[in-house]
Structure 1
């Protein structure tokens, strides 16, 4: 991907093994379990948002309900779904304010076979990325993930939290 960000290879086989056989990472994160720490950017007691630990784009954020829900259509009633979408929109606007993307991709990914807890991806595409590297290609960890230092994650999270606090 263009843009000058440093990238490193991701252990995709290890990642798949963890998400298919391990604890629900969202439930573990919400419970504060060691090894599941993420940079939290939003928590209203019902929903949480945090920076993706394996970002392919700067500011890539995940949003989920705190309670374990596995079906995006059947697991949320209409009011819950609309409330979740309100949080996704709120977080996406804050991320966009901070990283100034050309486009923000919003999508729910996961599978009953791995990453079953419903969550939305807020993926900000930076300006100038060639068309052939946009859309799903911009999300693919096979192309490497951003090599952000822990301090960079924290600073980015603080900037997004500050944007969320502005009216």
Structure 2
């Protein structure tokens, strides 16, 4: 699957000067709608709108928190990582991934809402296109139709729901 060019400058501008896209999505703003995989009272998992790999998802607390070390308790951290782990297991089933990448990105300067990227790496990707290369939108993003995104989210959600906590 080939990657399409990505408007990185526009994305940076929105991230730094726009509203928190995660809070807007959680509030139900249709301009920030994403395909949700799982949601409970404290966390949400959803597909990235700008995936560099099929099944690229994010996990976040539903409350707007920004600092891992200061804004959440150890118990909240472990609960969020239980969601990350369960999602990773679901992604591995759906995509038969070689590895699941997990990163926490963002900063006070942009995308400040605490979140984790949970990304399946397909088997057979050459080493030089793995790791950061596989995740960087600078190398382009995959384009999926809304129907394809909804079907992907539903497949992952079914696998997620079937897993024991």
* TM-score tier (shorter): over 0.9
**Matched pairs, number:** 163
**2 CA distance for matches of 1:137 and 1:6?**
14
Partner of 2:91: 95
Higher relative helix content:
2
Could you report, residue by residue, the CA deviation over 1:62-121 in whole angstroms, capped at 9, with x for unpaired residues?
000000010012111110011111111011111111111111001111111000000001
Q: CA RMSD in A?
A: 0.8
TM-score, normalised via structure 2 length: 0.96
Partner of 1:45: 41
**2 CA distance for matches of 1:128 and 1:77?**
39
TM-score, normalised via structure 1 length: 0.95
Question: Unpaired runs of 5+ in structure 2?
Answer: none
Partner of 1:143: 139
Higher relative strand content:
1
Question: Unpaired runs of 5+ in structure 1?
Answer: none
Over 4 Å off, 4+ runs? none
Secondary structure of the corresponding residue to residue 32 of structure 1: coil
Partner of 2:112: 116
